[in-house]
Amino acid sequence: MNNQNYIDKLYYRYATKKFDPTKNLDDEQIEDVKKAIQLSASSYGLQPYEVLIIKDMDLRKKLKAVSYGQPQITDAFRLLVFCANTKIDEDYLDAYIKNISETRGISIDDLKGMRDTIYNTTLQMDEETKTIWAQKQAYLALGNLLSAVAHFGFDACPMEGFENDKYDDILGLKEKNLKATVIATIGYRSEEDQLQHAKKVRKPQNELFTEI
């Protein structure tokens, strides 16, 4: 891949405030978004999150009301809600070990060492710490989504500006052992969004990096 081409796309990407509600993504684009999220790295590969992809406009209007009225929620093609799993227990771990076993053709016995390691580390965290850990993994998936969308040539807006507990209530997440963590909208930018022309504001590299 041409690296400069990728860097140019990262410059092109911005947190889109105004989406064009008339421009849709097609099924293939949505499939690619799903793959980019699915292929995200996560601690031990546990992927302790699920992502809701919301089309329903009535639901999105309700969610917008608890997202400080941010217009992206209803203007974009889809709203994605990254939800942390709040129940990472032995059943969850065993389902993961079974997936590795079946996918890679390794016996469950041969995966015992890995299971023990995860059991003795992640599963021993208290519930609050474990949820924070799960939320961090969800943010990594969000990061992957943002880079992927830039690469694909459409737009996204990551958002923390919403009332997490109200999302949990509206979407019935507690019953599913999920917690709304961070959201993103995807679609195409509106030509009217002036922010797309603004220069990137970033720390200078000498403040960001130390080479030792």
Ligand X SMILES: Cc1cc2nc3c(=O)[nH]c(=O)nc-3n(C[C@H](O)[C@H](O)[C@H](O)COP(=O)(O)O)c2cc1C
| Binding region for ligand X (CB under 6 A) | 14-15, 17, 70, 157-161, 182, 200
Residue number, nearest CB to ligand X: 161
The CB-of-191 to ligand X minimum distance in angstroms stands at 17
Using the CB atoms, write b or e for 98-123: b if 16+ within 10 Å. Answer: eebeeeeeeeeeebeebbeebeeebe
When the beta carbons of 12 and 31 are compared against ligand X, the nearer one is 12
Length of the chain: 212
Strand 49-54 versus strand 78-85 pairing type: antiparallel
The CB-of-131 to ligand X minimum distance in angstroms stands at 17
When the beta carbons of 23 and 136 are compared against ligand X, the nearer one is 136
When the beta carbons of 17 and 166 are compared against ligand X, the nearer one is 17
The CB-of-206 to ligand X minimum distance in angstroms stands at 20
When the beta carbons of 1 and 198 are compared against ligand X, the nearer one is 198
The CB-of-70 to ligand X minimum distance in angstroms stands at 6
The CB-of-18 to ligand X minimum distance in angstroms stands at 10
Tokens linked to 150: 């830039």
When the beta carbons of 96 and 162 are compared against ligand X, the nearer one is 162
Residues 6 or more apart in contact with residue 126 via CB below 8 angstroms: none
The CB-of-200 to ligand X minimum distance in angstroms stands at 6
When the beta carbons of 150 and 171 are compared against ligand X, the nearer one is 150
Q: What are phi and psi of 155, to 5 degrees?
A: -130, 160
105: left (phi over 0), alpha (psi -120 to 50) or beta: left
